[in-house]
Amino acid sequence: MKFEGCLLAVKDISASKHFYEKVLHQNAVMDIGVHVTFEGFSLQQGYAELVGVTVDSVKEQSHNFQLYFEVEDLDKVYAEMKSISGLLWVHEIKEYPWGQRDIRVYDPDNHIVEIAEDMNMVIKRFLNQGMSAEKVAKRTMFPIEVVKQYASCFDI
């Protein structure tokens, strides 16, 4: 058995497709109207009817699932997304104890979308700030060997 991705039930395939293509810069690999597939996930309009459940049983804003994306430059993505009117935010830039920063927004169907810094960039940021590899390892919870390997790749 091979996992192929997840499927999001959506009300308006056009609005959802626009969000994922224009806001999150995803490329559709298949588009058959009411079903659009991106790399790793799909959108489906009319999901309840398709699987034979009642429309009102498809919950909105359940807060128990999210799509997760990583970027190298979170500040750039944040600035771009702040310029989008009507975008609903779960939260703006937030930094976690391990140093990774992220933002979360809702898609048009109130699914949570997280956009986080790639951990390689977090390690690079800490090393560029003058933290020792040992301190970076402790803060990020990455093994010291991994941090040292990243440091050698970043030429720091």
Query: What pLDDT score was predicted for residue 65?
Result: 92
Q: Mapping DSSP to helix (H, G, I), strand (E, B) and coil, where does residue 19 land?
A: helix
Picking from 143, 6, 123, 120, the residue whose alpha carbon sits closest to that of residue 68 is 6
Q: Which two tokens stand for residue 108?
A: 């048009």
Specify the amino acid at residue 71.
V
Query: What pLDDT score was predicted for residue 150?
Result: 85
More confident site: 143 or 155: 143
CA distance 64 to 111: 9
Query: What pLDDT score was predicted for residue 156?
Result: 61
Q: Which of 1-5, 42-46, 122-126, 144-148 has the lowest mean pLDDT?
A: 1-5
